[in-house]
Amino acid sequence: MSFDFDLFVIGGGSGGVRAARLAASEGGAKVGLAEEYRMGGTCVIRGCVPKKLMVFASGYSGGFEDARAYGWDVTAGGFDWPLFKGKLHAELDRLEGIYRTNLDKAGVEIFDTRAVLEDAHTVKLATGQRFTAKHILVAVGGRPFVPDMPGAEHVITSNDIFHLEALPRDILIVGGGFIACEFACILNGLGVAVTQYYRGAQILRGFDDEARGHVAELMRERGVNLHVGTDVIEMKPVEGGIWVKSTDGREHVYEKVMYATGRVPNTGGLGLEEAGVKIGRGGAVEVDDYSQTVVPSVYAVGDVTNRINLTPVAIREGAAFVETVFKGNPTKPDHDLVASAVFTQPELGTVGLTEEQAAEQEAIEVYSTSFRAMQSLFAGRPDRVMMKLIVSKASRKVLGCHIVADHAGELIQLAAVALKMGATKEDFDRTVAVHPTMSEELVTMKAPVRTA
């Protein structure tokens, strides 16, 4: 059978673009790609990149205070949101342009419109065009989830933050995951009065308990009005903002309310189930170890599969798909020991098992320390760094590493290499410390603080 394309990719995010480029440039495939919004997906357009730039911007408020403590005569003016916003979107335009240029160079045909599946080998575009493809890759990512409740139409999500005409005087952020916590810290750093509600007992569920408790404490110390065990029961628009009543009986009017209560795969209305693709819990496309669905010609990568929802993972999945399908080299994406960072202030970097996960599977030793780093101590900041290693008693391998500190995201990348190589606690001990640094604590913790 003759097809219009060897591969048609639905979705122009990091995973889909990587797969399209490699299939065309290295796999010799004729490739089409459809994206209904902007090239770059969540990460480039409304996630990692603009968020990290906002993290940088928000950090300067504390930086000015530190500079004065170090002897600099510094006077900070107000934060100019319109100026920053303009530069931010110019940068996103630049990055989107790079994505498009690279696709063009690889020979990928781009369609700036929505595409859906009609059957196992056919996609239909919103323009009315139909194309057949030997293989179809679904890489449409996810979207913010907002509960269906009265007043929900008046809230914003992380998608909207970057498009605000002005920063609000105050905001309520509902949620306790990494997105909620990151934006609570960002907006607090930019001078917005931030209140955060989370219905659970502690923020950052799924992360190491000691580490997430440490982050919560520091967020409060820096000015975030964080309430756990609290949820919204009623809200409505009123003069001056949105009136909110919470489960603890508190009532308040906030200029903005932002929901960051998780994300869901963006599978609605794509024709997947009609084409025979199995959709699992929460709307995720079910795939095997090679990202193949139950329909042999249809594959899926990235957040739409709800495996590990991180940009570098989607990129690895896209590359593994090309190796498998177009290079004759069956390759499973490696989801083991994937490091990640939460860009709160300070940051949380993590790789491997939490203390709780490790203790459930085997006997462990826990090495942990909390201290005031030299830079912040001299400046008079109360911040405390936390560093933690989880060690197997039997094998001596380091099973997990967790860091709460400024630039923890940078530090955890290097620790991840050691864990991926199977480093033991004694390998860490044999490593000479770099002094004076925060990170030297990772190799100088000699005695466990507890065992389990």
Q: Which residues are tagged catalytic?
A: 435
406 marked among binding-site residues = no
Eight-class DSSP state of 302: G
162 marked among binding-site residues = no
What single string gives the DSSP state of each residue in 62-102? HHHHHHHHTT---------HHHHHHHHHHHHHHHHHHHHHH
Residue with tokens 């100026």: 83
The C-alpha angle 183, 171, 245, rounded to 5 degrees, equals 125
- What size, in residues, is the chain? 452
CA-wise closest residue to 267 among 139, 80, 86: 139
178 marked among binding-site residues = yes
Residue with tokens 């199995």: 278
179 marked among binding-site residues = yes
Alpha-carbon separation of residue 137 from 20, 112, 141, 147, 427 (angstroms): 9, 16, 12, 29, 42
176 marked among binding-site residues = yes
422 marked among binding-site residues = no
96 marked among binding-site residues = no
182 marked among binding-site residues = yes
Query: DSSP 3-state assignment of 24?
Result: helix
Strand order in the sheet with 193-198: 225-228, 193-198, 170-174, 256-259
352 marked among binding-site residues = no
Strands 256-259 and 170-174 come out as parallel
CA distance 202 to 200: 6
Check the CA dihedral 344-348-351-354 and report its sign. Answer: negative
Strands 193-198 and 225-228 come out as parallel
Binding residues for FAD: 52, 303
Binding residues: 52, 175-182, 262, 303
Binding residues for NAD(+): 175-182, 262
